[in-house]
Amino acid sequence: MIDRNLAPTLLQSASWYPVVTLTGPRQSGKTTLCRALFPEHRYLSLEAPDVRAFAREDPCGFLQDAGDAVLLDEVQQVPELLSWVQVAVDEDPTPGRYVLTGSQHLGLSAAVAQTLAGRTAIHHLLPPSWEELQRFEEPPRTLDDVLFAGAYPRIHDRGIPAPRWLSDYLQTWVQRDVRQVLEVTRLEAFERFLRLAAGRTACELNMSALGGDVGVSHNTIREWVSVLETCFLLHRVPPWHANIRKRLIKAPKLHFVDTGLACALLGIRTIDQLRHHPLRGALVETWVASECLKQQVHAGLVPALQHVRAAGGLEVDLLASAGQQLWALEVKSGRTITPEHVRHLESFRDLVSTSNAGFDVRSVLLHGGETRSTIRGCEVIPWSALPELDITKP
């Protein structure tokens, strides 16, 4: 197991709240992390049929038998158990009594919101960030390596070929979680939606156009996107809003949380194929957006990411805000950088300075090479230096 950046936040929450809830996509490392952080807690997995049956048939007896320090894994399998957890912690609110994990964020969030409000801290664990991946024995080294393999821990911990593992992950996830959570009856249409969504990563989301290509209504696309976002497979980056909003074009950008998963859906089977793929640039931007998302989520923060597209052609790939600090990030997949590449960053900085929005803009151009420089007041840094930008602090 590698050290995860979320660990200190989880431990701190367990010293404050009687319940700590950890959600995230399947295979992101939730169980491994919690068992390492809370070794004295009795571990019970509600995936096991006998354990699940006991919890459903006699929840009061189940919790009494479990003891005072319990790690309940995949708790969304028995959401009614949370009402009994509420009763238990109301009687004895000792911090850190229960640690709950779950993969299906939608069902788990509804149950937690209804029964454990004020009694639990809720955190999310995504696949490891680039910084965390470097803690594996044989981490990816190049930009194409990390784009192609993605960040799910088992790929890097066990050396499983990324296309094989990701293909199995997709098949298992579609057959199991999609049927259970989304209640999808047209699996063929849903699988087509996933592939087409991967082709639109780092693009503005037009649900009507996507629905037309998939062959379903835009309302169905809206539902599917929303649920996949709450399951941490997709995330939408909303448009920036400030005093200049009348000039902004308001549409969210769609990003996959894991570029390896996007590559698998795009049919990219080798790194050489990725290097020459027309969507490589979009995948690099998606990787940067995902890394920024992980920085904020693993610090226990609500994501604060946006993008800019304004009338007249102004575009900035990603904005990350922390108080009055506004990080403006432009992403270039190539290794060669010219002054023209910072034009949008300059324009945005000037626009904000004249809008009286009160932000301190820090402009950064990330590129696919290894050089560092400063061009017209904009920092130019390599992709691998992204963790140096601590976007979680004002």
What does the pLDDT look like over 218-246, one tens digit per residue?
A: 999 998 898 888 888 999 999 987 655 55
CA atoms within 13 A on the CB side of 221: 20
Q: Are residues 275 and 136 in the same domain?
A: yes
255 band by pLDDT with thresholds 50, 70 and 90: very high
What's the confidence (pLDDT) of residue 264?
Answer: 96
Q: Are residues 143 and 88 in the same domain?
A: no
Q: How far apart are the first and last CA of the chain?
A: 31
Do the Cβ atoms of 100 and 120 come closer than 8 Å? yes
Per cent of the chain over pLDDT 70 is: 92
Q: Are residues 48 and 177 in the same domain?
A: no
With vertex at residue 8, the alpha carbon angle to CA 18 and CA 260, rounded to the nearest 5 degrees, is 110
Phi-psi map region of 290: left, alpha, beta (phi>0 left; psi -120 to 50 alpha): alpha
The rounded distance, in Å, linking the Cα atoms of 29 and 101 is 10
> Residue 356 carries which side chain, given as an amino acid letter?
N
The rounded distance, in Å, linking the Cα atoms of 181 and 136 is 33
Q: Are residues 120 and 156 in the same domain?
A: no
Do the Cβ atoms of 192 and 293 come closer than 8 Å? no
> Is 228 in a helix, a strand, or coil?
helix
Report if residue 327 sits inside a domain: no
Beta strands 325-332; 315-322: pairing state: antiparallel
Do the Cβ atoms of 324 and 358 come closer than 8 Å? yes
Report if residue 364 sits inside a domain: no
What's the confidence (pLDDT) of residue 105?
Answer: 58
Q: Are residues 162 and 117 in the same domain?
A: no
| Domain interval for residue 72 | 7-124
The rounded distance, in Å, linking the Cα atoms of 339 and 364 is 13
Report if residue 59 sits inside a domain: yes
What's the confidence (pLDDT) of residue 76?
Answer: 85
CATH number of the domain that 62 lies in? 3.40.50.300
Looking at every residue in the chain, the average pLDDT score rounds to 90
Closest-CA residue to 337 (of 294, 382, 305, 307): 382
């629905």: which residue's tokens? Answer: 211
Q: Which residue has the higher pLDDT, 323 or 235?
A: 235
- Which of 103, 124, 145 lies at the terminal end of a domain, its last residue? 124
Confidence check: pLDDT of 383 > 80:
yes
Q: Are residues 119 and 137 in the same domain?
A: no
Beta strands 253-256; 120-124: pairing state: unpaired
Report if residue 300 sits inside a domain: no
Integer angstrom CA distances of residue 295 from 21, 221, 298:
19, 28, 6
Q: Are residues 137 and 233 in the same domain?
A: yes
**Per-residue pLDDT tens digits for 83-108:** 999 999 999 999 999 999 987 655 56
Closest-CA residue to 292 (of 391, 394, 360): 391
- Which of 124, 156, 186 lies at the terminal end of a domain, its last residue? 124
- Which of 67, 89, 124 lies at the terminal end of a domain, its last residue? 124
Confidence check: pLDDT of 253 > 90:
yes
Distance, C-alpha 365 to centroid of its chain:
22
- State the pTM of this model: 0.93
**Per-residue pLDDT tens digits for 325-334:** 899 999 999 9
Q: Are residues 197 and 270 in the same domain?
A: yes
Q: What is the DSSP string of 276-314?
A: T-TTHHHHHHHHHHHHHHHHHHTTTPPP-EEEEEBTTS-
Report if residue 380 sits inside a domain: no
Report if residue 359 sits inside a domain: no
DSSP label of 65: H
Q: Are residues 112 and 17 in the same domain?
A: yes
Q: Are residues 40 and 148 in the same domain?
A: no
Q: Domain count of the chain? A: 2
Closest-CA residue to 289 (of 261, 254, 323, 313): 254
The rounded distance, in Å, linking the Cα atoms of 337 and 330 is 12
What's the confidence (pLDDT) of residue 277?
Answer: 97
Q: Are residues 108 and 237 in the same domain?
A: no
Q: Are residues 119 and 145 in the same domain?
A: no
Report if residue 178 sits inside a domain: yes
Report if residue 39 sits inside a domain: yes
Confidence check: pLDDT of 171 > 90:
no
What's the confidence (pLDDT) of residue 57?
Answer: 94
39 band by pLDDT with thresholds 50, 70 and 90: very high
Q: What is the mean pLDDT of residues 102-121?
A: 74
